[in-house]
Every structure is written in C-alpha cells, then in structure tokens.
Amino acid sequence: MGRGRAWLSLVAGVAVIALAWWLLNRPLESDTATSPVASGSASPSAQTSATPAPPGSVPANAIAAQAHWTIDGDTIDISIDGVVERMRLLNVNAPEKRSGARPAECLNFEASGVLIDLAPKGTSLRIVRHGKDRFGRTLGAAWLADGRMLGAEVIRQGYAAPLTVGGVATYRVEMESARAEAATAKRGLHAVTPACTVPARVAALKPQDPSAPTLLVELQSRAPHAGVAALTDAHRASLIATVKARG
C-alpha cells in the first residue's frame, strides 16, 4: 500500500509540473493585440512603404560612410574611415528643434525619428559632399544601400520641405518629386492632424478668427518655416484664400 501511495504521489507531482510549464509557456491571445505594430504605434517611416530608387540613382562618385548619430530631420553625423563629421542634407529643410528662445517647430521630433529609422547608427551609406555651409558643416547627400536618398525620403514621408540655399539646387528635382508624393497622400506637414500643422490650423479657423492675421503672415512669408515651405504652391494658395475669407 505504501509503495502504491508513493507511486501515485510521483505521478501527481509530474502532472503538476507539466501543468505549470504549459501555463507559463502557452501563447497568449493578447500578445498580438498589444504589440507596437498592431496597436498602430509604429514610427512614421514604418507606416509609409518604401519607394524603390531608380537604377543607377546613386552617383558614381559617392563614397562609403556610416551613419553615426542623427541631429535632427535634415542633419546627421557620419563616419568615414573612423572620422566623424556633421553633414547637412542638401536641398532639405526639416522642422527645427527648440533653440534658446526659439520654440520647436511642428513635427520636428517626428522628422528626426524618420531619419533615425532610415539610418540608425552603423547603417552603411554612400555620400557625396558639396562643400561646407556657413556653420562649418558638410553639405551633402546620402543614399541607403537600396538606392533611396535620405533627404528625399524624409520629404516623401511628409516631414521636410525642399530647399535651395545660395542658388544650389543640385537635388531639387528629387526633392520636388518626393514633396508631390507626400502632398498627394497628405502625409505629415501636409495633413490636418496633428493640430500644429498649418493645414490643421487653417481648418480650425472660425469666422473673424483673431489668429488669422498671424497665419496669413506665415503663409505669405518669403522665408517660411518648414511647415509652410513643405506645402505645394497650389495648396499654399488655397490655404491663403481660406485664411483671408475667415480673417
């Protein structure tokens, strides 16, 4: 009888262990529902499908580099043979971060996030230098291994504007094409959400709105911030007309 009870105790113990293992390792129905992608919290670049680069789009004189650190949506530190230099992406203007008394511009954080997602530290790049800017930064362009151009991708996802400085418009065609795609899809700075974008602010105007004059100045500025500069001429003209009608 003693041996029988000992055998039953052993069997029961094994069953308890097996049940505990199953409870700890079974798949949970909530795993997928609470993942970042499933809950819609993926980064902007993850939500926008990549546009394949045309064959031969990387210039023959591009040299090898690695992404080292992202400064903001249009500036990145790169490493060439172990030497780090700061590069301002040519013909790209992303929203500015806060600096001293100057407030941060709409979607500046998201613009930086797009560049980080595209080229995290250690990413292989091909770059072309175009001299220095007045701050001593390298002016240049960078391409990913699949041929996509970094600056154009930030604009394509709606988080930057084309920019010509000092008459240098080397990549303006690529940037304009990327802007047209972002505008058509109403991404980022072209959208009516979040509330800080220019289209959202115009859409929120009421008749005789006291904020209309400020918006009109921004939209008609000859040196607009990135949120206005990102807009196509047609969209900008339409927003100006709306502001005037409600001001």
**pLDDT, averaged in runs of 10, over the chain (247 residues):** 51 49 39 29 41 66 97 98 97 95 95 98 98 94 97 98 93 97 98 98 96 97 97 98 93
pLDDT on residue 114: 97
pLDDT on residue 166: 82
Q: Are 140 and 151 a contacting pair, CB within 8 Å?
A: no
Q: Which residue of the set 85, 86, 88, 174 is catalytic?
A: 88
Q: Is 88 a catalytic residue?
A: yes
Q: Is 3 a catalytic residue?
A: no
Q: Is 96 a catalytic residue?
A: yes
Q: How many whole angstroms separate alpha carbon 107 and alpha carbon 201? A: 14
Q: Which residue of the set 96, 176, 181, 218 is catalytic?
A: 96
- Give the residue extent of every domain in the chain: 63-246
Q: Are 67 and 75 a contacting pair, CB within 8 Å?
A: no
pLDDT on residue 57: 83
Amino acid letter, residue 22: W
DSSP for 75-141 reads EEEEEETTEEEEEEETTEEPPPPPBTTBPPPTTHHHHHHHHHHHS-TT-EEEEEEEEE-TTSPEEEE
Of 161, 192, 198, give the one whose Cα is nearest residue 178. Answer: 161
Q: Which residue of the set 137, 172, 181, 246 is catalytic?
A: 137
List beta partners, residue 165: 168
CATH domain 63-246 topology:
OB fold (Dihydrolipoamide Acetyltransferase, E2P) (2.40.50)
Q: Is 104 left (phi over 0), alpha (psi -120 to 50) or beta?
A: beta
Q: How many whole angstroms separate alpha carbon 19 and alpha carbon 6? A: 20
How far, rounded to the nearest angstrom, does the alpha carbon of residue 65 sit from its chain's CA centroid?
Answer: 21
pLDDT on residue 16: 47
Residues in the chain: 247
Of 207, 201, 206, give the one whose Cα is nearest residue 106. Answer: 201
pLDDT on residue 21: 45
Q: Are 150 and 133 a contacting pair, CB within 8 Å?
A: no
